[in-house]
Structure 1
Amino acid sequence: MDLDEGGWNIPYADKITHFIFYLVFGMLGCLFVRERTKGQMELVKASRLIFLVAVAYGIGIEVLQYTLTTDRMAEFGDVLANTFGAFVGISLVRWSFSKERPLKWKF
């Protein structure tokens, strides 16, 4: 049974989706660490932790797709999109809490 996928044909739509998901993952992850530690964990340390978690999670999902499924494909491009999205999301948080901005990392 074929499903109608609609008339939209956006090139690299899956990579864009991966990028956006991990951008949000990186931003929310940093903010989560900030809230859980009441701002006591340094921004640099929190951003490195979340970046490593995001990259490991992205690679883990791709490995699971490769090993456990028959109808899904693991793609290196997805890992790159995930990594770049997490990097951009974390960079946005770091920029938001930079010394030039009014937001403060510590409570």
Structure 2
Amino acid sequence: MLKTRKFAFAFFGWMAFVTWASLSTFPDDDTPDIDIPHFDKVVHFGFYFGAAVLGTFFIRETTHGKSPMIKTLVFAAFGAILFGILIEVLQYSFTLDRQGDLFDALANSFGAIVGALAMNWLFSSPKGLKWKN
């Protein structure tokens, strides 16, 4: 059973991690600051790129490849985008030291879209993965 649901566990685990990382407070520590401009946007991009990729594999696994690929990619990307917007609203509304940011939501959305496009390329290329199991 666990082997057949590996992407379900990976996807929900990833989304739980993203939620925790987005809504938690991290104490300041004595680590040296490395100032990379807009690095947080790269992190947002990566979180939601991963969400779209794992979401695609999760839907494919759940439907055994019977859901059309394009429909799955749109659903995975759109779901990740909505989740990212929800997280930004929650940060704005319910956290004391975090704040919602329109540019974070845009980075989340861009990551989800690029993740879906990467999955389209992966499943559409001649040497890529096959959509049907």
TM-score, normalisation: structure 2? 0.75
Over the matched positions of the two proteins, sequence identity in percent amounts to 43
Could you say if the C-alpha distance between residues 41 and 73 of structure 1 is closer, same or farther in structure 2, counting changes exceeding 3 Å? Answer: same
Q: Which moved more, 1:1-10 or 1:48-57?
A: 1-10
1:8 counterpart SS class: coil
Gaps of at least 5 residues in structure 1 are none
Q: Distance in 1 between matches of 2:76 and 2:85?
A: 14
The question of 1:29 aligning with 2:60 is answered: no
Higher relative contact order, structure no. (Cα contacts within 8 Å, ≥ 6 residues apart): 1
For residue 2 of structure 1, report the CA deviation from its aligned partner. Answer: 5.1
Q: Distance in 2 between matches of 1:102 and 1:88?
A: 17
Which structure: greater helix fraction?
2
Q: Which residue of 1 aligns with 2:120?
A: 94
The question of 1:44 aligning with 2:70 is answered: yes
TM-score, normalisation: structure 1? 0.92
Moved over 4 A (4+): none
Alpha carbon RMSD of aligned pairs, Å? 1.5
